[in-house]
Amino acid sequence: MKLSRTYLADFVALLFPQLCAACGESLMANENVICTTCQYSLPLTNFHLQPDNIVARQFWGKVNLQAAYALYYFTKGGKVQNLLHHLKYKGMQQVGHITGNIAAEQLIKNEIFYSVDVIIPVPLHKKRLKQRGYNQSTCFAEGLSKKLNAVVDESSLIRKKATSTQTRKGRFLRFENMQEVFTVINPEKLVNKHVLLVDDIVTTGSTLEACAIELLKIEGLKLSIATIAYAE
């Protein structure tokens, strides 16, 4: 029976091959979502080793962060863009879970992240969440949570109004677009906590900054940031 199931699985894989979400090549039997070649060749930033990395510098003089981090460099048309596309638009929530696991392996090497209590994903507006069915940033948060020994909190930070897409906006328009978009409910839950705010990608940092401003109004809260990708 076990052998026949193996043959059946191989036959199904032959007809409907599972493809790597990064490069599009067929996955081997022991691979899942991202092929082994891509896992070793995707452009890691190693920002966990650089306290003054380029993501952290984006927030200097704006919001007080403990640390800021992105897992991969993003290039237009590259493999990381393929990953994010599959995560956001193709329903592949596993991409978030796997990249979260990979990121956590790096972050546990930095003592700043040892004290993270709560992981908060940048929230989607309820209309966008209903359309997509899930929040891609929550998938990343879930991948991070186990190895960082922190809980995922989707209820404390909410997006109170929908915004137009940020894709073609400049730095100032992105910041203006995010004004008064987010709010915190039941802030007493986060008093004196170290919160890790996470998103799929950071470009100008305007969305994360808007979230950070609200979270840092809470007494004693310490804040760090992590994303899957950084785009220049």
40-95 pLDDT per residue, tens:
999 999 999 999 999 999 999 999 999 999 999 999 999 999 999 999 999 999 99
What is the pTM (predicted TM-score) of this model? 0.88
Contact 14, 7 (CB under 8 A): no
Would you say residue 188 has pLDDT above 80? yes
44 class by beta-carbon count within 10 Å (0-12 exposed, 13-18 middle, 19+ buried): middle
Q: Give the separation between CA 134 and CA 113, rounded to whole angstroms.
A: 26
Would you say residue 150 has pLDDT above 70? yes
Q: What share of the chain in percent tops pLDDT 70? A: 86
Distance of CA 126 to the CA centre of its chain: 19
Cβ-proximal residues to 132 (8 Å cutoff; 6+ apart), any chain: 88, 124
Q: To 10 degrees, what angle do helices 79-89 and 93-107 make? A: 130
Residue 173 has a pLDDT of: 56
How is residue 174 annotated by DSSP?
A: H
Q: Does domain 44-231 have CATH number 3.40.50.2020?
A: yes
Q: Give the separation between CA 148 and CA 166, rounded to whole angstroms.
A: 30
Domain regions of the chain by residue span: 44-231
User: What is the pLDDT of the chain when averaged over all its residues?
Assistant: 90
Residue 232 has a pLDDT of: 83
Residue 192 has a pLDDT of: 98
Q: Which amino acid is at 89?
A: Y
